[in-house]
């Protein structure tokens, strides 16, 4: 896996039909088992009339790995789905592949291929992003400079996480590696040296969307 951690960029759904069985794949980014379990409950409620709602989830914290074949022959659904994310080094992910049975048996090999495809198609639809350590900063700002400061933060690859409005404005900004160093001289220039930002810690955050298959 190396030192890179990948997470789903957002949530997405994909669908295909195999020998009249309809497979719906769904992928979400998750931070906790509670969140994953809530998503599983939601899907089972939404697709209560489906023959199977097979699922898996992986969490970076604690190395949590869970999966279920939900009535399919053992080893034909949850584990193959899990393998898709392990191969791509994707974590903090929850995936459900729902099957509406079409009356034709697929056999163990066919099922494994179908559930693998369901997970992979949904992951390809969603894309991934690389988790990396960002630095957090409190950036003081006056109202006249507000829009310019926001633009400069973005220009340096940063994002505004929070904004406090008072007599002046205080922004909580997050920067990827090197971004804060780029931003400091711009803030100094904008404010003629009257504003200086303060370090507020660091946090692992996802970056931009990438293709799951590395293209």
Q: Is the pLDDT of residue 99 over 80?
A: yes
pLDDT score at 13: 94
Which residues have CB under 8 Å from 83's CB, separation 6+?
116
pLDDT tens-digit map of 2-31 = 457 899 988 999 999 999 999 999 999 999
Q: What is the mean pLDDT of residues 123-147?
A: 91
Q: What per-residue string of b and e applies to 150-174 under the rule 16 or more CB within 10 Å gives b?
A: bebbeebbbeeeeeeeeeebebebb
pLDDT score at 22: 96
Please state, rounded to an integer, the average pLDDT across all residues of the chain.
91
Q: How confident is the model at residue 215 (pLDDT cuts 50, 70, 90)?
A: very low
Task: Using DSSP, state whether 98 is helix, strand or coil.
Answer: strand
Reduce the secondary structure of 50-79 to three states and give it as a string: CCEEEEEEEECHHHEEEEECCCCCCCCCHH
Q: How confident is the model at residue 1 (pLDDT cuts 50, 70, 90)?
A: very low
Tokens of 214: 């590395």
Contact 12, 125 (CB under 8 A): yes
Tokens of 198: 């303060």
pLDDT tens-digit map of 146-170 = 999 999 999 999 999 999 999 999 9
**What percent of the chain stands above pLDDT 70?**
97
Q: What per-residue string of b and e applies to 37-61 under the rule 16 or more CB within 10 Å gives b?
A: eebbeebeeebeebebbbbbbbbee
Which residues have CB under 8 Å from 53's CB, separation 6+?
40, 43, 44, 47, 70, 96, 97, 98, 99
Beta bridge partners of 175: 135
- Tell me the C-alpha distance between 127 and 7, whole Å: 9
Which residues have CB under 8 Å from 142's CB, separation 6+?
168, 169, 191, 195
Task: Using DSSP, state whether 122 is helix, strand or coil.
Answer: helix
Contact 153, 160 (CB under 8 A): yes
Tokens of 15: 């669908």
pLDDT tens-digit map of 38-81 = 999 999 999 999 999 999 999 988 899 999 999 999 999 999 99
Q: Is the dihedral of CA 133, 29, 210, 156 positive or negative?
A: negative
The alpha carbon of residue 18 and the mean position of all alpha carbons in its chain are separated, in whole angstroms, by: 28
């Amino acid at each position: 896996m190396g030192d890179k951690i990948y997470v789903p960029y957002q949530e997405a759904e994909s669908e295909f039909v195999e020998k009249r069985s309809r497979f719906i794949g769904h992928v979400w980014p998750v931070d906790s088992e509670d969140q994953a379990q809530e998503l599983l409950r939601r899907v089972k409620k939404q697709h209560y009339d489906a023959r199977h709602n097979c699922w898996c989830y992986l969490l970076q914290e604690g190395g949590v790995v869970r999966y279920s074949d939900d009535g399919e022959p053992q080893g034909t659904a949850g584990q193959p789905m899990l393998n898709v994310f392990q191969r791509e080094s994707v974590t903090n992910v929850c995936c459900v592949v729902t099957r509406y049975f079409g009356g034709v048996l697929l056999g163990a090999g066919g099922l494994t291929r179908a559930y693998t495809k369901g997970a992979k198609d949904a992951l390809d639809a969603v894309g991934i992003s690389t988790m990396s350590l960002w630095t957090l900063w409190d950036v003081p700002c006056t109202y006249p400079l507000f829009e310019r400061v926001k633009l400069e933060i973005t220009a340096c690859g940063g994002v505004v996480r929070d904004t406090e409005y008072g007599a002046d404005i205080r922004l909580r900004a997050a920067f990827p590696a090197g971004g804060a160093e780029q931003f400091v001289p711009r803030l100094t220039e904008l404010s003629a040296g009257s504003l200086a930002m303060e370090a507020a810690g660091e946090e692992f955050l996802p970056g931009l969307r990438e293709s799951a298959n590395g293209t």
